[in-house]
Every structure is written in structure tokens, then in C-alpha cells.
Amino acid sequence: MKVAFIASEAYPFAKTGGLGDVAGTLPKFIAKEGLKVILMLPLYKTIDRQKHGIVKTDISFNITLNGQVYPFTVYKLKDSVKCYFFHNSALFDRDYIYGPPEGGYPDNDIRFGVFSHAVLEFLRKTGFTPDIIHANDWQTSLVPVLLKDKFKYKDIFPDVKTVLTIHNIAYQGIFDKTTMEKLELGWHLFTMEKLEFWDKVNFLKGGIVFSDALTTVSPTYAKEICTPEYGYGLDGVLRTHCHKLYGILNGIDYSIWNPETDPYIYENYSYKDLANKHINKKMFLKEFNLQGEEKPLFIFINRLTYQKGVDLLIESMDKMVYGLKDTANFAFLGSGEKKYNEYFKSIENKFSNIFVKVGYDEPLSRKMYAAADFLLMPSIFEPCGLNQMIAMRYGTIVIARKTGGLADTVKDISEPNGYGILFEKPDKFQFENAIDRAIDLYRDSVKFSKLCELVSTLDFSWEASAAKYIRLYESLKFG
């Protein structure tokens, strides 16, 4: 079976969030099972071609839409999974993938709409006819639309089935209706049943309607997005198409996230002996001038956005810096919305039990996972979440709001065989109570140590998830 996997980002080439992790990992695990997989991405200015061994092919072509010509040159990567990069200097030679922190580029509709045309033209030109085209998020949601609506693609790929994965329904690709003309989509598609959304164009909605199957990144999130609370205006469309919606939990790549081999942490360790985890904590505290090895260390590693519960962190900061000054240490790493960046920068080096770094720093994040006793994930909503899986692999207990993938991966200690701390409502009282419960757990050193050992052995690897995707592909191909 042949699969064309299309995404706007993939680790280690380009990454802003969970989509990058999934697109960089899932194709490899699918290929391990014998499927022929190609991965297609834009070639951004920020991607280091030399570092990754990206070379130019002899494939080039033009996409002409609404009188505008967009020339593409295709690059490739030699790997177990074939990876192709699509370069157009006007569209992708920019400082950011989607736009600066203030907001997305105003022509993102053109950038990713033209990219969607380009990947289909590449498949047509090269004669690679996949059984499955797997698109991801709004940036590639037009691919199922074009495949089903454009005669030149319908004739060439009559039997190709499409899967669209929704990684975060809050981001939908909504643009002015003039986009219909710019991308030659055809006004017959501008209806409530197709791409129209409050007199605008909604790329994700088009993908939902035209794809043969929909997936999202956890079973609970699949249910949540069909409700008004979590559907961001598309819950009605999703309920209409719920017969083709599947929740498949993401995984993590244990060859990358492994404290036994991680090159960035202070001392390597395994679930069989967590003694060196304490050495990591000791050295982290020393490096960042935090006092008290006997205190629990709480960490937060995430984007600084409303979705990630950053307002709850800020509302509870008084408790952390005053109420728990002599009881616990806290470390925060992340960047995101301007107002949150400014707040956390304002408390850098201000409190004796608080460490803050605003920015993206993967080596530091790995040190934090290895050093921490608890990971904070107070998300307002969380489609899947990977941080909690990574933290548990490093023997760190998770404190999370019971939503989306967090509800699917973390089981509260009040339940039989529970191993984490969950709270229901996204409010300050419940969040602070969860921190207090964590401190009580930490004081029971025997129970705490057993739970650290337990979570480090839980299996959140990609193998099981990849197998579910393959079964879905087979059901679409063979019926």
C-alpha cells in the first residue's frame, strides 16, 4: 500500500507544536510495517538544508492560479521514509513558518492553498499514485477538496482515498471569500454544506466535508469536538460527518525520548533504577540557582497560550511564590502570545523558588523532564498532548486537567491503579488543590517512588497508533 503524507511541518525540519512531532514520526512507524510512504512538506527558509542533507531534484513545475504563476522546485531527503520538500521563494523564504508572534501572515491562504495544488501536481507529474493521501490540519485541508472537485485530479486519481487528521480544531484556516477566486476553487463550493463559514472560506471545514475519513489525536477529543464547547463552530459539521470520525491517540518515539540515552540530560537513567533521576534534579537546581533538593520540583513546558491554561498559572502565581516559597520549586519554559511572554519575562529572577525562561529550548526541556517531580498541564483543552507522555517516560508525575488526550493518558491516584493527578474544572481553586495533592503525595516517599517507577514503564509508543492508522487505510482501500 502506498501513502502520501502531507503536512505543513515535521520534526526535525520544522516544528511549532504537536503536528510537527506527529508528522515527523508517524510516517516512519507506518513505513516500518511495510507500507511505501512519502512525506511532503514546504521548504521553509528556516530549514537547514545542509544539516539535514536536503538536495535538489530535477523536478520543477509551475502552478498557475487566477493569472498568478507560482514556480516550484522539489528537493528531497534520503531516508527510510522518502521526504520531499517544495520550494517557492515568494511563499516560503520567510522568518517564520506561519507568521510572527503577533499573528499569521495575511497571505497564508495563498501559501498553503498553492502548496496543496503543488503536492497533487507533483504526484501527477511523477506518476506516484498513492492508495491513501493523509492530510493534516487546515494547511493541507484543501487537498481532499481538490482531489474530489477538480476534474484533472479526479480523472488521474479516481481511486485515491483521503484521510484528514485534525490536530487542533481551534485553528481552521479562515479567510476572506476572495480566496475562492485567488485559488480557483469555484463558487459552487462556497455553500454552507462545503467551504462557506459565516461568509468566509474555512479550509478545515472543506477538508472535513470532502475527506473519506477524519481522525483526531485522542478518543476523548473526538467526542469533545462534536460539542459546542469544544467544536469552535464546526461541531455541527462534525456531527454530520461523525460516521467517518475516529479518535486515535498519538504516541511518542522512545528512540528520541529515552532517559537511558538522552544526550542532553545530566545523567542517564532507566526505569529499573531511578536513582540518577535525583542527580538530574540536584544538578538542575544548582545550575539555575534553586534551593532545596528535598522540595518537590514542579515544571511547566509548553506554549504560552490560553489553550495551555497559562491564565491558571498566572492566577496561582501568588500561591507558588509566597504560599509555597519554602515548600516547592517551580520552573517554567515556553513562549507564545505576547502578553504571556511579557508576564513571564517580568518575573524572571524575581523569586527564589521560581525559574523562568521565555523561549524554545529543547536541550533545557529535556533537563527539566529528567529533573522534575511533577509536570503541570492545566490545559483548557488538549487534543492529545505529548508532554505528559514524555514526562512519564522520564519518571515524572503529571498534574493535568481532565480533558482530551490528558483524560486518555493520565489516571488519577484516587482510582485503582492510578498514577497521576487530575482536576475537572479549569479554575484556580481546583488547580491549586491539585498542587496541594501533589505535595501530599510527595511527602509519602514510598508511594511517590513507586508511582515514578510505574509511570516510566507505561507504553505510549507509536506502534499501537500506527497499527490503527494502517487498519483505517486498509478499510478505505478494500472496503
Examine the domain organization and report whether 299 and 381 are in the same domain: yes
- State the pLDDT at residue 202: 98
Are residues 443 and 333 part of one domain? Answer: yes
36 occurs within a structural domain: yes
The verdict on residue 260 lying in a domain is: no
In a shared domain, residues 168 and 24:
yes
Q: Check whether residue 216 and residue 287 sit in a common domain.
A: no
264, part of any domain: no
**What was the pLDDT predicted at 152?**
67
The answer to whether residue 266 sits within a structural domain is no
Domain match, 351 and 390 both: yes
Query: pLDDT at position 80, please?
Result: 62
Residue ranges making up the domain that contains 427:
275-459
Residue 263 falls within a domain, yes or no?
A: no
Q: What is the pLDDT of residue 208?
A: 98
Closest CA to 244 of 191, 286, 207: 207
135 and 232 part of one domain:
yes
User: Do residues 470 and 454 both lie within one domain?
Assistant: no
Is residue 288 included in any domain, yes or no? Answer: yes
> Are 214 and 149 within 8 A, CB to CB?
no
Would 261 be classed as within a structural domain? no
CATH of the domain at 54: 3.40.50.2000
pLDDT for residue 225: 97
pLDDT (tens place) for every residue of the chain, 479 residues total: 999 999 999 999 999 888 998 999 999 999 999 999 999 999 999 999 999 999 999 999 999 999 999 999 999 987 767 999 999 999 999 999 999 877 899 999 999 999 999 999 999 999 999 999 999 999 999 999 999 887 667 778 889 999 999 999 999 999 999 999 999 999 999 999 999 999 999 999 999 999 999 999 999 999 999 999 999 999 999 999 999 999 999 999 898 899 999 999 999 999 778 889 999 999 999 999 999 999 999 999 999 999 999 999 999 999 999 999 999 999 999 998 889 999 999 999 999 999 999 998 999 999 999 999 999 999 999 999 999 999 999 999 999 999 999 999 999 999 999 999 999 999 999 999 999 999 999 999 999 999 999 999 999 999 989 999 999 999 999 87
Residue 151 has what pLDDT? 60
Domains held by the chain: number: 2
